[in-house]
Amino acid sequence: MFKRIFIEYFKRHLTSLILIILMILIVTVLALIPAQILRIIVDDIIFNNKANLLLLFGIIYALSYLLIGVFNFLKNLLMLNTSQVFLEFLRGKMLTHIHKIKYQDMVNNDSGTFEAYFNNDTNSINELFTSGVIDMVTDLFKIFGIVISIFIYSLRFGIIILIILPLIIIVTGIIRNKMLKAQLSSKNLEGNVNKILLENVEGIKEIKTNHLSSYVKEKYMKILNNHFKANQASNFYDSFFSPLMQIIRNLVVALILIVSGINLDIFGMTIGMVISAITLISDLFTPIENLGTEIQTIQKSVAAIKRINEFFTFPSDFEKKETLLGDKINISYKNVSFSYDKEVVIKDFSLFINAGEKITFQGPSGSGKSTLMKLALGIIKPSAGEVLINNCPIYLIDNATRRKYFQIVYQEPFFSNGTIYEELTLRDFSISKEKCQEALNIVGLDYIVNLDLILNKDEYSSGELALLNIARVLVHNPKVIFLDEMNAKIDPFTASKIIKIINSFAKDKIVISINHYGDILENSKIIKLDNQINKSI
Ligand SMILES: Nc1ncnc2c1ncn2[C@@H]1O[C@H](COP(=O)(O)OP(=O)(O)O)[C@@H](O)[C@H]1O
Ligand SMILES: [Mg+2]
C-alpha cells in the first residue's frame, strides 16, 4: 500500500522527482570540483609562474565552495519541502482509511497504537527523505566520484584506495555499532530513570504516609547508577570516534605524502595531483562516517513503512447504503448473538421495539447491555441473527441517516473543542441558533447565551455537560434516543431532571436506556440481562 501511495505521489509530482535527481547529481559533481581547481593551481599556475592567474583561480576556488554551500542548501530545502508535502499526502490517505476502519478494530487497539501510526511512523518516513535515502545516495555518489577521480590520476593509487576503502568502512562500522549500542542502553535506562521519578512524584503521598523514603531512595539510586555507567560508556565512544577518524585520515594523508616524497613516479602523478588527491581523500571520510547514521535511519524507516502497511491492512467497515426509513420507526433484534473474539456476550436475543416504546436494559456489569446498544446503533454487526430498523439491517445504514435518526448520551459526553453551536448541532448548519438557544433553555442552561464560545469541558460540571448533551439530543430531534448509564457520573437531582425532560420530549420516540440505579423513564419496559444466560456457552 505504501508503495502504491509513494508511486502515486511521485507520478503527480514528477517535477520534484526530477529536481531531486538533478540536485543529487549537481551536489555530487560540485563536491569534486575544488580538488580539481587545486590541481590546476599547483600544476598549471604555480609551476608555470603565472602569478597573475593565481588571484582569479583563488576566487574560483572560494566560489566553488560557495556554490557547494548554496546547492546543499537548495537540496535540503527541496527535500524538506518534498517530505512535508508527501507526508501530508500520506496522512491524508491514512485519514481516509481510518474513517473506514471498523469500530471493533478501533476499540480493540488502544489509542496509542493509532497515534504511533500517525506520529512516530510518519515522522520516521519523513527522515527517510531528509536524512535517509537521499543523503545516502548522495554520499555513495560522492564516494564513487572521488574514487573515479583518483583512478583518473593514477591507476595504482586508485587500486590502493580501493583496498583501503573497505577497511575504513569496516572500522567506522564497528565503532559506530558500539557507539549505537551504548547510546541505546543509555537511552533505555534514561527511560527507567524518568519512569521511576514520575512514579515517585505521583506516589509522594503514599511514600510519605508509609515512610517509604529510604526504600524508594535506594531503588532510585540503583537505577541512577546503572544509567550513569551506561552513559559513561556512551560518552567514551562519542569522544573516541571523531579523534580516531581524524587520526586515520591524517595517517592516510601522511602515507601518501611519504610515498610521493620518496618517489613521485610510483603513482605517476604530478604534485598538483597529489595535493588534489589528498583533498579528495580527506573529503572521502565524511560521507563514509555518514553512511552508518544513514543506514540506521533507513532501517528505522523501513520498520515504519512496514507498520504503515500494517495500518492499511485493517479491513474496511461494511459498505453503507443510503436508506429511506420514513417517519415511523421500529427496531427489532431477531435471534441475535454476538461475540468479541471467542467470548460469547449475547446469545440468541430477541426483542421487538415498537415506535414510541421505551426500553431499559438492566443487569450486572459485563452482562452485555452496552453491546446490545451498540448493535442497535449499528456500529457492530451481529455474529448471528439480525438487528433491523424498519426491516433494514442497522449496520448498513449510511452515516447521514444514522445521525438524523439516532442520538446517544453516554456517561462521558463527547465534545471536541468546537463552539457551543457546533457541538450542539454536530456541524449540521441547517439547525438554527434559535433552536439551540431554545434547547439550552429547556435543559436549564439559559445562562449560556453566546453560542460562538468554544465549549471548554473544564469550564462545566459533569451535570452541566450531561445537560449540554441532552440539549444536543433536543436540537437534533431524533427518532431513537440511546442513554448509556448517563446518570452514572452526575448528581441525582440533575439525573432526574434529565429523565423529566426526556419523558416530555420523547413521547413519540424510541428510547433505549441503560440504568443501574435511579429514576427510569415513564412506561419503560425493563429487560433484565443475566450474566449466566449470556455466558452459558
Ligand atoms: N471491545 C471489546 N473487546 C472484547 N471484549 C469486550 C469488548 N467490549 C466489551 N467486551 C466484553 O463483553 C462483555 C459485555 O460488555 P458490555 O456490553 O460493555 O457490558 P455492560 O455494558 O453490560 O457492562 C464484557 O464481558 C466485556 O468484557
Ligand atoms: Mg456498559
Are residues 181 and 219 both part of a single domain?
yes
Are residues 50 and 96 both part of a single domain?
yes
Mean pLDDT of the chain: 88
Separation between Cα atoms, residue 74 and residue 26, nearest integer Å: 11
Asked if the structure places residue 186 within a domain, the reply is: yes
Q: Measure 366 CA to ligand 1 centroid, in angstroms.
A: 5
Asked if the structure places residue 124 within a domain, the reply is: yes
Grid coordinates of 435: 433552536
Contact residues for 492 (Cβ-Cβ < 8 A; gap 6+)? 518
Are residues 145 and 159 both part of a single domain?
no
Q: Closest Cα partner for 513 from 490, 470, 484?
A: 484
Q: How many domains does the chain have?
A: 3
Are residues 512 and 440 both part of a single domain?
yes
Asked if the structure places residue 467 within a domain, the reply is: yes
Q: Measure 338 CA to ligand 2 centroid, in angstroms.
A: 15
Q: What distances in angstroms separate CA 241 from CA 168, 173, 181, 231, 505, one per listed residue?
A: 13, 11, 14, 15, 75
Q: Measure 372 CA to ligand 1 centroid, in angstroms.
A: 10
**What local confidence, expressed as pLDDT, does residue 532 receive?**
54
Are residues 115 and 260 both part of a single domain?
no
Q: Determine the 3-state secondary structure of 374 from DSSP.
A: helix
Please report the atom of ligand 1 found closest to the CA of residue 373.
17
Ligand 1 pocket test, candidate residues 111, 342, 370, 531, most atoms within 8 A of CB:
370
Note the ligand closest to the C-alpha atom of 344. 1
Q: Determine the 3-state secondary structure of 481 from DSSP.
A: strand
Asked if the structure places residue 15 within a domain, the reply is: yes
Ligand 1 pocket, residue 370 CB under 6 Å: yes
Ligand 1 pocket, residue 347 CB under 6 Å: no
Separation between Cα atoms, residue 115 and residue 94, nearest integer Å: 12
Ligand 1 pocket, residue 109 CB under 6 Å: no
Ligand 1 pocket test, candidate residues 103, 110, 343, most atoms within 8 A of CB:
343
Q: Determine the 3-state secondary structure of 379 from DSSP.
A: coil
Give 535's pLDDT tier (boundaries 50, 70, 90). Answer: very low
The 10 Å Cβ neighbour count of residue 134 is 23
**Listed ranges 67-71, 151-155, 262-266, 526-530; the one with the highest mean pLDDT:** 67-71
Q: Measure 515 CA to ligand 2 centroid, in angstroms.
A: 10
CA nearest ligand 1 atom 7, residue = 340
CATH number at residue 116: 1.20.1560.10
Are residues 299 and 349 both part of a single domain?
no
Q: What is the pLDDT of residues 44-55, one digit of tens each?
A: 888 888 888 888
Contact residues for 147 (Cβ-Cβ < 8 A; gap 6+)? 158, 161, 162, 165
Amino acid at 414: F
Ligand 1 pocket, residue 340 CB under 6 Å: yes
Grid coordinates of 13: 509530482
| 440 close to 471: Cβ distance less than 8 angstroms | yes
Ligand 1 pocket, residue 534 CB under 6 Å: no
Please report the atom of ligand 1 found closest to the CA of residue 369.
22
Q: What is the pLDDT of residues 378-407, one digit of tens each?
A: 989 999 999 999 989 998 898 888 888 999
What's the pTM value of the predicted model, to 2 decimals? 0.74
For residue 325, pLDDT beyond 60: yes
Ligand 1 pocket, residue 143 CB under 6 Å: no
Q: Determine the 3-state secondary structure of 344 from DSSP.
A: strand
Ligand 1 pocket, residue 107 CB under 6 Å: yes
Asked if the structure places residue 288 within a domain, the reply is: no
H or E, element range at 346: strand 343-353
CA nearest ligand 1 atom 13, residue = 366
Q: Name which of 22-26, 67-71, 174-178, 317-321 the model is least confident about.
A: 317-321
Asked if the structure places residue 326 within a domain, the reply is: no
> What are the b/e assignments for 71-101, b being 16+ CB within 10 Å?
bbeebbebbeebbeebeebbeebbeebeeeb
For residue 352, pLDDT beyond 90: yes
Are residues 238 and 376 both part of a single domain?
no
Are residues 162 and 24 both part of a single domain?
no
Q: Measure 368 CA to ligand 2 centroid, in angstroms.
A: 7
Are residues 103 and 250 both part of a single domain?
no
Q: Which domain holds residue 210?
A: 155-268
Are residues 69 and 136 both part of a single domain?
yes
Asked if the structure places residue 276 within a domain, the reply is: no
Are residues 140 and 174 both part of a single domain?
no
**Ion ligand 2 contact residues with beta carbon within 5 A:** 370
Q: What distances in angstroms separate CA 396 from CA 352, 380, 385, 446, one per listed residue?
A: 19, 10, 14, 39
Q: Closest Cα partner for 156 from 28, 47, 260?
A: 260
Asked if the structure places residue 273 within a domain, the reply is: no
Note the ligand closest to the C-alpha atom of 361. 1
Contact residues for 520 (Cβ-Cβ < 8 A; gap 6+)? 360, 499, 513, 526
Which residue is it, cell 456541524? Answer: 427
Are residues 139 and 165 both part of a single domain?
no
Instruction: For residues 230-249, give the mean pLDDT.
Output: 86
Please report the atom of ligand 1 found closest to the CA of residue 104.
1
Q: Which residues pair with 510 in a beta bridge?
A: 480
For residue 507, pLDDT beyond 60: yes
Separation between Cα atoms, residue 107 and residue 119, nearest integer Å: 19
Ligand 1 pocket, residue 108 CB under 6 Å: yes
CATH number at residue 440: 3.40.50.300
The 10 Å Cβ neighbour count of residue 60 is 16
| 409 close to 486: Cβ distance less than 8 angstroms | yes
**What local confidence, expressed as pLDDT, does residue 531 receive?**
64
The 10 Å Cβ neighbour count of residue 152 is 10
Q: Measure 116 CA to ligand 2 centroid, in angstroms.
A: 28
CA nearest ligand 1 atom 25, residue = 366
Q: Measure 77 CA to ligand 2 centroid, in angstroms.
A: 52
**What local confidence, expressed as pLDDT, does residue 537 receive?**
36
Q: Measure 108 CA to ligand 1 centroid, in angstroms.
A: 11
Ligand 1 pocket, residue 138 CB under 6 Å: no
